């Protein structure tokens, strides 16, 4: 085993999952978070089988299954006609084909379940309201009273730990924003399907909708081009920004336009990604989650990739005698996986937002492919077995 003690900076999904994965292998962790309490921004979250399989190994899946929804299908529909173009079966099919479930839930649900598991684990210590200074090693030692074997940066797209790594990834605004809001079941339009995750696609923008059992309604995410508001997640939008969003959905089905017009929360989230770069310094610092590879949400794999990172980093730290070798092996393996997921996201972005005659061709191709064939295309993603 390369280490016996790790310090994790950041107590989001990546940080908490990493702590649990390390604890499962007998490694102590101190998780340091600058926020005085944990509150997950955003609304809905999709957990695909490649991630739920890991959450089951960590003993937290049953807590999620008690409150989440397992949709019957992932559908692609026209934003202009509402007609379904194709779908991938999930629900029971996902459990049988990929040996793990596909679920949707509120982000706060996963945050709370992970936090409770960390707080109940004797190998994990959570330090809230603690900010890392310029010298991260000195700051961490003063906070936890000892020097950890490794420092894990799980502090998101604007990671401060990433600054400690030469030629590390750099954040970049994608020129897209996500408008996220929820709709109560009693106010939901009839086209919102209670047993499906549906992507409504159209020129240069798209809309994703799925049920949120905890919220008693639906999660809606509208993704379109936008202007960067700076280094922040949640932004209160002006009326002009809302009008700009509606202009981008011009020509879509009237029911979708009515849904967006009636959006009660005038908030949006700028979508940042990070460039390629080094994830570890070869000695004692390594990155997980968005700090290493923040990506666009077109493959719905941001949370899943962070969960995979956590499991695979812990596996290598436990199985590899030399720390430097463990970090290098983790980086090499995960970069190959992330590159493939990014490529899938880029393909989805093109397919969702295509214009003109290509759009007609896309619709024909999707209509001709049976659901089982589309599911087979995802075996490499959903059937992935993380670990060494």
DSSP 8-state code for residue 238 = P
**Is-contact 317 326, C-beta < 8 A?**
yes
**Is-contact 218 210, C-beta < 8 A?**
yes
Residue 382 designated active-site: no
- Which phi and psi (to 5°) does residue 280 adopt? -155, 155
Q: Where are the alpha helices (DSSP H) in the chain?
A: 13-23, 49-57, 61-65, 92-97, 107-119, 136-144, 239-248, 254-261, 290-293, 302-319, 323-353, 356-368, 371-376, 379-382
Pull the structure tokens for residue 271: 């979508």
Among 102, 210, 272, 352, the one annotated catalytic: 210
Q: With H, G, I as helix, E, B as strand and everything else as coil, classify residue 94.
A: helix
Describe the crossing of helices 302-319 and 49-57 by its angle, rounded to 10 degrees: 40
Sign of CA dihedral 148, 151, 152, 155: positive
Sheet holding 84-89, edge to edge: 84-89, 73-78, 196-202, 205-212, 217-225, 171-184, 267-274, 235-236
Sign of CA dihedral 155, 159, 165, 171: positive
Q: In the chain, what's the furthest Cα-to-Cα distance? A: 64
Buried b (16+ CB within 10 A) or exposed e, 259-298: bbeebeeebbbbbbbbeebbbbbeebbbbbbbbbbbbbbb
Which residues are known catalytic residues?
210
């Amino acid at each position: 085993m390369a280490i016996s003690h790790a310090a994790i900076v950041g107590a989001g999904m990546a940080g908490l999952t990493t702590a649990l994965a390390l604890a499962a292998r007998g490694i102590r962790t101190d998780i340091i978070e600058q926020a005085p309490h944990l509150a997950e921004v955003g609304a809905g979250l999709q957990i695909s089988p490649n991630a739920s399989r890991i959450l089951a190994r960590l003993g937290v899946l049953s807590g999620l299954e008690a409150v989440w929804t397992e949709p019957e299908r992932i559908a692609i529909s026209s934003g202009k006609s509402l007609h379904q173009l194709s779908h991938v079966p999930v629900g029971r099919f996902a459990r049988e084909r990929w040996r793990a479930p596909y679920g949707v839930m509120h982000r706060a649900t996963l945050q709370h379940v992970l936090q409770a598991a960390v707080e109940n684990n004797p190998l994990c210590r959570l330090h809230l309201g603690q900010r890392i200074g310029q010298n991260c090693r000195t700051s961490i030692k003063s906070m936890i009273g000892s020097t950890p074997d490794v420092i894990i940066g799980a502090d998101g797209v604007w990671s401060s730990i990433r600054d400690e790594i030469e030629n590390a990834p750099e954040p970049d605004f994608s020129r897209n924003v996500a408008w996220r809001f929820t709709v109560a079941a009693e106010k939901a339009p009839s086209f919102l399907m209670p047993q499906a995750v549906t992507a409504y696609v159209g020129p240069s923008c798209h809309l994703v909708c799925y049920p949120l059992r905890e919220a008693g309604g639906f999660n809606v995410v509208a993704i379109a081009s936008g202007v960067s508001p700076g280094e922040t997640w949640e932004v209160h939008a002006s009326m002009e920004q809302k009008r700009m969003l509606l202009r981008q959905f011009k020509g879509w089905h009237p029911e979708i336009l009515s849904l967006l017009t009636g959006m009660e929360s005038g908030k949006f989230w700028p979508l940042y990604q990070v460039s390629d770069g080094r994830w570890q310094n070869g000695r004692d610092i390594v990155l997980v989650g968005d700090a290493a590879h923040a990506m666009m949400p077109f493959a719905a794999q941001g949370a899943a990739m962070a969960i995979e990172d956590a499991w695979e980093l812990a596996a290598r730290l436990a199985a590899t005698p030399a720390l430097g070798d463990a970090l290098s092996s983790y980086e090499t393996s995960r970069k190959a996986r992330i590159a493939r997921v990014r490529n899938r996201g880029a393909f989805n972005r093109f397919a969702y937002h295509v214009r003109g005659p290509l759009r007609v061709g896309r619709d024909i191709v999707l209509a001709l492919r049976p659901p089982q064939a589309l599911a087979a295309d995802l075996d490499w993603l959903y059937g992935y077995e993380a670990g060494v």
